[in-house]
Amino acid sequence: MIALLIAAPLLGAAVLLVGGRRLDAVGHWIGTLLASASFVIGLVLFADLLGREAEQRTVVQHLFSWIPVAGFQADVAFRLDQLSMTFVLLITGVGSLIHVYSIGYMEHDERRRRFFGYLNLFLAAMLLLVLADNYLLLYFGWEGVGLASYLLIGFWQHKPSAATAAKKAFLVNRVGDMGLSIAIMLMFLTFGSFAFEPVLSQVGDTSEGRLTAIGLMLLLAACGKSAQVPLQSWLGDAMEGPTPVSALIHAATMVTAGVYLIVRSGAIFNAAPDAQLAVTVVGAVTLLFGAVVGCAKDDIKKALAASTMSQIGYMMLAAGLGPLGYVFAIMHLVTHGFFKAGLFLGAGSVMHGMNDEVDMRKYGGLRRYMPVTFVTFGLGYLAIIGFPGLSGFFSKDKIIEAAFAKGGTEGWILGGVALLGAAVTAFYMTRVMLMTFFGEERWRDRAEASGQAAATPHESPGVMTIPMIVLAVGSVFGGAFFSIGDRFLHWLEPVTGHSEGHPPVGAWAVTAATVVCLLIGVAVAWAQYGRRPVPAVAPRGSLLTRAARRDLFQDDFNHVVLVRGGEHLTRSLVYVDHTLVDGVVNGAAASVGGLSGRMRRLQNGFARSYAVSMFGGAALLVAATLLMRAV
Amino acid sequence: MSFPLLTATAALPAVGAVATAAVPAARRTAAKWLALAFSLGTLALAATILVRFDPGGARYQLTESHSWIAAFGVRYELGVDGIAVALIGLTALLVPFVMLAGWHDADPLETGSRRWRPTQGFFALILALEAMVILSFEATDVFLFYIFFEAMLIPLYFLIGGFGDRAHERGEKAASTQRSYAAVKFLLYNLAGGLIMLAAVIGLYVVAGSFSLTEIAQARADGSLRMATGVERWLFLGFFFAFAVKAPLWPLHTWLPNAMQESTAPVAVLITAVVDKVGTFAMLRFCLQLFPEASTWATPVVLVLALISIIYGALLAVGQRDIKRLIAYASISHFGFIIMGIFAMTSQGQSGATLYMVNHGLSTAVLMLIAGFLISRRGSRLIADYGGVQKVAPVLAGTFLIGSLATLSLPGLAPFVSEFLVLVGTFTRYPAIGIAATLGIVLAALYTLVLYQRTMTGPVRKEVSAMPDLRVRELVVVAPLIVLLIFLGVYPKPVTDIVNPAVQQTMSDVHQTDPKPEVEAAK
Amino acid sequence: MNPVNYLYLAALLFTIGATGVLIRRNAIVLFMCIELMLNACNLALVAFSRMHGNLDGQIVAFFTMVVAAAEVVVGLAIIVSLFRSRHSASVDDASLMKL
């Protein structure tokens, strides 16, 4: 049954990619059908789990032995528990919605069948990732989603920028994967296994140093996949992919895999405080980094991407807090899955109506033309900034509380960062909202400047708006549904463990502070973008703005140090290989050749000189014989 | 006496070579089909070996033994263990595909000449090479092995020197001098390695008084044959040098890029996927079994050289402008992994290395053959001459991508299993080297994806805009290999089951056991 | 008569032959000088045979004669064809085979 979850989309991918052009007409329906089938199976399994006692909600299904080698057991085995169930529902649910949306969004693309094939492939890999019962199988899914992400970012391969972005994403992820494979090797060295059960239960038998090493390597992996500092640079470029991809992979599901990895390996991190601290630091830094970058981007998708980075920073921060925060990390992950997917779909809908324009400075006043998009996007916006009562409010507030509850100076710093992040989030999201849906209709100027009649933006078809509406409903009620009666907490606690945090100030004070921060952020944004008209060409801006536009110089650093440095290195190595290593070989050959060239001169073609050498040789022989006699 | 299956498996392609060569010049197509039929027959015999081989049985099975040169105690002794079975299977499997891929590579350019028979020669040489490779996998007599180890240079020399990229040949005179340079370099390099090995083979006979691998290994194991430390080390180095040239290990690698660049894609596949495997196979079979102490003594140096191969090969692959040279350097990097796995002296490492030999054969075959199809369409080996191919030839691009992904060891495709086993096996004993080798993972992604991006994506270049997609014959070559790559990536058990017992034997030959997990060791 | 005198004669003949080979260019003369050297050897062989009282030397001398006869056949044929093609019998002119 668990295997069926994965098998359905995998079958879809195989059929769609191998089937060829014959399936062009029905490909999208096959893809959507199989994705939804997977969702339905997920629901059945969920009902089954709900029917059990809380302690018996872990189902392990062993399929076959994957790599049987002496002393090395890697099995294809699945583990379905509350944590993976949560992910399964999120992945298949949001995934199916986005399949539906893509039917409309990709309608005019001649390679739509392939697109659905890749989407199905992604679902299969992502499900494998969260259902795997050991780290090696998880690694399989981990690289599998990397592949799907590569294919989908580069879906419009004819654009060099898309191809480059895809390659970059894969490469940066590979650096993270290096961390995961080293972590697996460390586990094997330490525990003789890398299945969850033996590793996580034997944590107490080894040294803290070893656990810290494993934890840091896992963190490296998580940084790569979840676009956390210092491996965050690929996410912005990944927006080259079609928007449904950005919504599904680069907002709702794949990029949260890092958080999953850390929560799943909770036992390791709990026993390695240094590694945990590293996780919180990475989370906190990324949270601010993403927020700052988000403030400066004019490309709507890149602004949302920066926001994703920042929100995942929140989750990482929470995951680094240990049992205080695991549950809230996952809760924020789920609510974020709803509202961020909704926001991206909204952005896609806007682009769809605006002839694929992504520059927000060329939007404005769209609320009248795209009412459904406006409302759903608006609800998503309210959810992400944590407007009281919507889902983001519940999940984010809990994280901020947990950060304060860590205690000591650390707690104050982390809590402060989280609060600051909330304010900045409110600022940049309000900015996106105002620039897109309010203000003057700047797109008219552009159309007039180019001498065309202004094409009026239009609302997207129902097949696109319905998923947006569903997701908007989720972003409104999800948080409240999870939090009332601590439903989500009770559901997840048996897997992740939980300890109640006690912030140094009352919980109500934290909530109040959060709301104040959010209001400040909204107000500042309104003052800057709501009251004044938005210039259609970006002003030069302050130093910070310019830095943020360039992703705080991260790419420039990469370019100068890694790309240029690497080019020089490989070029000089090619030279060394040619002249030095091969030079020795060719040199040896040349010296033999030279020697034989000299010897050749003795063959001058005069029979008499040959005769002289013969006589000389004979005389030598005779002399030698006589000499030997004499001695 | 039972049917001499091993001899038959080697003899069939040898007979096929003679038969193909004897086909009259005008009956070119008949010669091709004849050669293909012989290679398929060999495949059937190899499959029979696979079926008849009992993984739980004796170490060497299906043995044959006849006196040959009685004066020196040279015997015609054949026998296979699991590792040899796997590699014979790989060889027999690849040859028919290689022939199909090179179906038109050796058609004479002008049809007038009646006496010149390049097509017959090409296919006959491939069959001759197959026979020799199979015999060198089967031989359990050191001298017999040496003979075939060297003799396979002869057909390969002519394959490299005689048949180049068609597209290059037309009009370019420089190409043929380049090619003969590559062929001569290949021959001399390998001959030099072989000569040093010959000295070591004679030295071994002087010390051990026998050429029989089983006898010597037995005598070494039960202590009745002792070698002075210095003698053993020198003999080990003599053998190892020859194998390291063939494998090729840094810094003895420079013949490979030239040879692969100049030969046609099918021949390049034969070089890396089949012939070079004899080198790594022989390390596992001869170096470790005959000289266990010297092998452990040399391990640190060999591991460092292997590590250099991995990183160096990958970095050079990044810097290449020629598609085939890039694949050649990638292979050097992969051979580093294989050798590292062999000398890590853990069962994961050695099983992984053996598996790697098979998987690398498959993945390189896919990548190289498709690169060959690509090159034959455009008439250029330079990466810069391509762009946007996926738009005009999506199937070609898609299969090429799968080949690239296999080369970068993506989980789900066969090479991942072996690469990870090698890494884990190395890591448990030498953590620093294991970690450094993981850098290879990132670099592999870099060179394969850069290659894919530059050739397949982006705007369609004018020169490739009329490029036809894969033909049926080409698809028949590529598709089964891809299916096999996926199958062995998800379910490698059929191969590991055959290989594991042999690896355990080798481990006990070198008196090594796997390190215990630290948690258990502490208890 | 003292057999040693025959040896002196043989040495003298051999030296004349060797000098001829070294200094003359005409192929025919060269050829005759070589024959002279061979016959000097024969003379020495027979002399030794006589001195030591066994027949081995004489037998070898016969062999030498047979071989020399065969050599004359081949050698003269080469010289004749060389002369035909180049109108000269000088050995220095025939150096086409050198590298």
Binding partners of C (≥3 Cβ pairs within 8 A):
A
Contacts with C29 from chain A: Cβ below 8 Å: none
Q: Tell me which residue in A158, A178, A190 faces B518 most closely, judged by beta carbons.
A: A190
> Which residue on chain A is closest to B252 by alpha carbon?
A581
Kindly state the average pLDDT of the residues A165-189: 91
- How confident is the model over A195-247, as pLDDT tens digits? 988 888 888 888 888 999 999 999 999 999 998 888 888 888 888 889 899 88
Q: Is residue B228 part of a domain?
A: yes
Neighbours of chain A (3+ CB pairs under 8 A): B, C
Cβ-based contacts of B500 with chain A (< 8 Å)? 68-70
Domain range holding B274? 5-109+119-517
Question: B32 in helix, strand or coil?
Answer: helix
Q: Do B319 and A571 touch (CB under 8 A)?
A: yes
How many of the other CB atoms lie within 10 Å of CB of A606? Answer: 15
Q: What whole-number distance in Å separates Cα of residue A436 and Cα of residue A380? A: 14
Q: What does the pLDDT read at residue B173?
A: 58
3-state secondary structure A186-255: HHHHHHCCCEHHHHHHCHHHCCHHHHHHHHHHHHHHHHHHHCCCCCCHHHHHHHHCCHHHHHHHHHHCHH
- Give the model's confidence band at A451: pLDDT under 50 very low, under 70 low, under 90 confident, else very high: low
Tell me which amino acid residue A316 is.
M
In a domain, B317, yes or no: yes
Is residue C91 in a domain?
A: no
Instruction: Kindly compute the dihedral angle of the four CA atoms of residues A216, A217, A222, A223, in this order, to the nearest 10 degrees.
Output: 70
Q: Is residue B467 part of a domain?
A: yes
Cα–Cα distance, B133 to B88 (Å, whole number): 8
Which of B417, B457, B515 minimises the CB distance to A154? B457
Q: What is the CATH number of the domain that holds C82?
A: 1.10.287.3510
Residue numbers of the domain that contains C56? 3-86
Subunit partners of chain B (3 or more CB pairs within 8 A): A
Nearest to A488 by CA among A200, A89, A218, A18: A89
- Residue B220: φ, ψ to 5°: -70, -40
Q: Please say whether the beta carbons of A117 and A12 come within 8 A.
A: yes
Total domains present in chain B: 1
| Chain segment A548-560, per-residue pLDDT in tens | 777 777 777 777 7
Distance between A157 CA and the closest CA of chain B, angstroms: 5
- What is the ipTM for the molecules in this complex? 0.90
Cα separation of A22 and A27, whole Å? 9
Does residue A193 belong to the interface with chain B, where contact is any CB pair within 8 Å?
A: yes
- Residue C19 within a domain: yes
Binary contact (B347, A202; C-beta < 8 A): no
Please give the DSSP secondary-structure letter assigned to residue B250: T
**Is the residue at B522 inside a domain?**
no
First to last CA, chain A: 98
Does residue B343 contact residue B302 with C-beta atoms inside 8 Å?
yes
Is the pLDDT at C95 greater than 80? The verdict is no
Question: A443 and A540 in contact (C-beta within 8 Å)?
Answer: no
Query: Rounded to 5 degrees, what are φ and ψ at B197?
Result: -65, -35
- According to DSSP, the residues that pair with B139 across neighbouring strands are B78
Q: DSSP per residue over A274-304, as a string?
A: HHHHHHHHHHHHHHHHHHHHHHH--BHHHHH
| B114 in any annotated domain | no
Residue B469 is assigned to a structural domain of this protein: yes
> From the CB coordinates, do chains B and C have 3 or more pairs under 8 Å?
no
- Is the pLDDT confidence value at A322 over 70? yes
Q: Are strands B74-80 and B61-69 parallel, antiparallel or unpaired?
A: antiparallel
Q: Dump pLDDT digits (tens) for C29-86.
A: 988 999 999 999 999 999 999 888 889 899 999 999 999 999 999 999 988 988 888 8
- Residue of A421, A419, A165 lying closest to A293 (CA atoms): A421
Contact C95 A604 (CB under 8 A): yes
Q: Look at residue C15 in the predicted model and tell me its pLDDT.
A: 93
The tens-digit pLDDT sequence of chain B (523 residues) is 578 888 999 999 999 999 988 888 778 888 889 999 999 999 999 999 999 888 888 888 888 888 888 888 888 989 898 899 999 999 999 999 999 998 887 777 655 555 556 788 889 999 999 999 999 999 999 999 999 999 999 999 988 888 876 544 454 556 677 888 888 889 988 999 999 999 999 999 988 888 888 888 888 878 788 888 888 899 999 999 999 999 889 888 889 998 998 888 899 999 999 999 999 999 988 988 888 888 989 999 999 999 999 999 999 998 888 899 999 999 999 999 999 999 998 989 999 999 999 999 999 999 999 999 888 888 888 888 888 888 888 889 999 999 999 999 999 899 999 999 999 999 999 999 999 999 988 899 999 998 999 888 888 888 888 888 888 888 899 999 999 999 999 999 989 989 988 888 888 888 888 888 877 777 7
Strand-pairing partners, residue A359, are A299
Q: Which of A122, A140, A210, A577 to mutate to test the interface with B (most CBs of B within 10 A)?
A: A577
Per the structure, how many domains does chain C have? 1
CA dist A285 and A288 (Å) reads 5
Alpha-carbon dihedral B237, B238, B239, B240, rounded to 10 degrees: 40
Interatomic CA distance for residues B343 and B425, integer angstroms = 10
The answer to the question of residue B124 being in a domain is yes
Q: Do A615 and C91 touch (CB under 8 A)?
A: no
What digits encode the pLDDT tens for the residues A575-620? 888 888 888 888 888 898 889 888 887 777 777 788 888 889 999 9
For residues B255 and B335, give the distance between their C-alpha atoms in angstroms, rounded to a whole number: 14
Nearest to B411 among A144, A202, A582 (CB): A144
In a domain, C96, yes or no: no
State the Cα–Cα distance between residues B285 and B80, nearest whole angstrom. Answer: 11
CA distance linking residue A276 with residue A268, whole number of Å:
9
With an 8 Å Cβ cutoff, are B496 and A585 in contact?
A: no
Q: pLDDT tens for residues A11-58?
A: 999 988 888 788 888 888 999 999 999 999 999 999 998 888 878 888
Q: Determine the residue of chain B that is closest to A63 in CA distance.
A: B491
For residue A3 the two structure tokens come to 């295997």
- Beta-bridge partners for A597: none
Q: Is residue B185 part of a domain?
A: yes
Name which of B194, B180, B181, B372 is nearest B267 in CA terms.
B372
With residue B2 as reference, give the H or E element that holds it: none
User: Which among A604, A606, A615 has CB closest to C18?
Assistant: A615
CA distance A600 to chain C (A): 7
Cβ–Cβ < 8 Å for B302, B266:
no
Q: Are A123 and A92 a contacting pair, CB within 8 Å?
A: yes
Residue C98 inside a domain? The answer is no
How is residue B324 written in tokens? Answer: 């085939």
